[in-house]
Amino acid sequence: MRKTFLLITCLIGSGVAFGQSNKVQTAINMIKPESNQLDQAKLMIDEASVHAKTAGEAKTWYIRGLVYYKIYQSNDAKFKTLDPDPLKQAYQSFIKAKELDVTKRYDDQLLFEITRASADFFNRGAIEYEQKRFAKSVESFETVMAISKLPFINQLDTPSFFNAALSAQMAGENEANKEQATPFYNKAIEYYNRSIALNWGGPDVYHYLAEVYLKKGDSVAAAKSYEAGISKYPNKSVSLYISLINYYLSKKDLLTGFDYIEKALDVDSTNASLWEVYGSALEKRGERDKAIEAFKKVIELDAKSLRGYYWLGLVYFNQGVESQGKANALPLSDAEGYKKEVAAADGFFRQALPYFEQGYVIDPEDAQLLTGLNHIYYRFKMTDKLAAVKQRIDAKK
């Protein structure tokens, strides 16, 4: 009797094992195009993946990966809600299958599927970035990085580091407070530095890295990033030069700033933005004649440069303000001196006027231009033009 009982037990056990294996095979059949029963296939394979008899088999997890990948690919609305992230489930299933496949029966298929999943995560990260889902985009690109580091792949996906850094930077900028933004900024710094080590991203990577440091309030590290980029790409980094020049000018270090301006102009003497920075620095140094020539160069290179016209007019305008200030400071007894300084002021304001007006044509809403024009039109009693400008100024209040 005891032997018979044992035999029956063994038969029942074999039947259970066969039943679970049959579910794996059924799942395979259900994901075929002619069947397309992805919901039932998921049910079958999920049961098999947790059952003691089949959970340890490479085939189970390989098929589970295929099922979830089909769900990921499907455009059928009834399958879209079967899992919140079927691509992740597919990828994890293939990895599990790879670990269990000691005989390497599925070696080629799994290498193909994992590589394909990597490409899908990369594409998804790009789409998430465009959709401004930056935190999700970081996760997708980090998955690509993780796949590229797997020992059976061992081929770094260099663009993923740069893209992850961009996504992390934007995720940080989207956070409401510094505490929430910091982890993303730290990731951005890590991945930008990795991109630099991998020689990926060109001059831009140094610029973006500096931007992150500035967001964290570390202007010194930002300046070092600009300098490193200039050192690496001395003939391709005008934007880095401009940023670094502005950094030194903000620190009132005109000597160092000028040194970089001259180097930058050697690299690209046709860059209007660079000439604008140069003119601004010259004006701050009191070298107004040279500043005027620099701003004229801006207009020569870019006839629609609002800032070029504004800055050029401002050099004359400021001299007019200074001359009027000198006139106001003279004693009442010095009528001749007062008259002379007022005439000088009038001359400077008249020189400023055509440049301000040209800037006004380009952008009639620029607040700084409107303020300058309002002053000059009032001074010279140009009532019609004054009324039009005042109307725009009042509309902004």
pLDDT digits 0-9 by tens, 84-122: 999 999 999 999 999 999 999 999 999 999 999 999 999
Residue 119 in domain: no
| Conformational region of residue 252, where left means phi above 0, alpha means psi within -120 to 50, and beta covers everything else | left
Q: Which of 53, 75, 105 is the last residue of a domain?
A: 105
The pLDDT mean for the chain works out to: 90
* Residue 52 one-letter amino acid: A
Answer whether residue 277 shows pLDDT above 80: yes
Answer whether residue 128 shows pLDDT above 70: yes
Residue 275 in domain: no
Which residue segment(s) compose the domain that 26 sits in? 19-105
Q: Could you read off the pLDDT of 43-86 as tens digits, one per residue?
A: 999 999 999 889 999 999 999 999 999 999 999 988 989 999 99
pLDDT-derived band of residue 3, with 50, 70 and 90 as boundaries?
very low
Q: Which of 56, 75, 105 is the last residue of a domain?
A: 105
Lowest mean pLDDT among 221-225, 247-251, 334-338, 389-393: 247-251
Residue 230 in domain: no
Q: How far apart are CA 161 and CA 188, in angstroms?
A: 9
The number of folded domains in the chain is 2
Q: Which two tokens stand for residue 350?
A: 């008249």
Note whether 291 and 279 are within 8 A (CB): yes
Answer whether residue 8 shows pLDDT above 60: no
Residue 11 in domain: no
Answer whether residue 230 shows pLDDT above 90: yes
Over range 344-353, report the average pLDDT.
97
Q: Which long-range contacts (CB under 8 A, 24 or more apart) does 25-33 make?
A: 27/63, 27/64, 27/67, 28/63, 28/66, 31/66, 31/67, 31/70
Answer whether residue 14 shows pLDDT above 80: no
Least Cα distance to 215 among 183, 239, 238 occurs for 183
Q: Which two tokens stand for residue 237?
A: 């980094």
Over range 275-296, report the average pLDDT.
91
The residue that leads in pLDDT, 345 or 15, is 345
Please tell me the predicted confidence (pLDDT) of residue 16: 42
pLDDT-derived band of residue 12, with 50, 70 and 90 as boundaries?
very low
User: DSSP secondary-structure letter at 103?
Assistant: T
Cα-based angle 81, 84, 86 (whole degrees, multiple of 5): 95
Note whether 24 and 30 are within 8 A (CB): no
Note whether 68 and 90 are within 8 A (CB): yes
Please tell me the predicted confidence (pLDDT) of residue 21: 63
Please tell me the predicted confidence (pLDDT) of residue 17: 42
Answer whether residue 125 shows pLDDT above 60: yes
Please tell me the predicted confidence (pLDDT) of residue 20: 53
Please tell me the predicted confidence (pLDDT) of residue 130: 97
Question: Helices 202-215 & 158-174, crossing angle to 10 degrees?
Answer: 30
Residue 149 in domain: no
Q: Which two tokens stand for residue 362?
A: 């380009």
Least Cα distance to 131 among 86, 170, 77, 158 occurs for 170
Please tell me the predicted confidence (pLDDT) of residue 222: 96
Answer whether residue 35 shows pLDDT above 90: no
Count CB-CB contacts under 10 A for residue 166: 24
Residue 319 in domain: yes
Over range 331-340, report the average pLDDT.
94
Instruction: Provide, rounded to the nearest whole percent, the portion of the chain with pLDDT above 70.
Output: 95
Q: How far apart are CA 69 and CA 31, in angstroms?
A: 10
Residue 321 in domain: yes
Q: How far apart are CA 251 and CA 239, in angstroms?
A: 19
Count CB-CB contacts under 10 A for residue 193: 15
pLDDT-derived band of residue 18, with 50, 70 and 90 as boundaries?
very low
Over range 212-229, report the average pLDDT.
95
Q: Would you call 188 helix, strand, or coil by DSSP?
A: helix
The CATH number for 320's domain is 1.25.40
Answer whether residue 32 shows pLDDT above 90: no
Q: Could you read off the pLDDT of 370-390 as tens digits, one per residue?
A: 999 999 999 999 999 999 999
Q: Which of 73, 105, 137 is the last residue of a domain?
A: 105
Residue 10 in domain: no
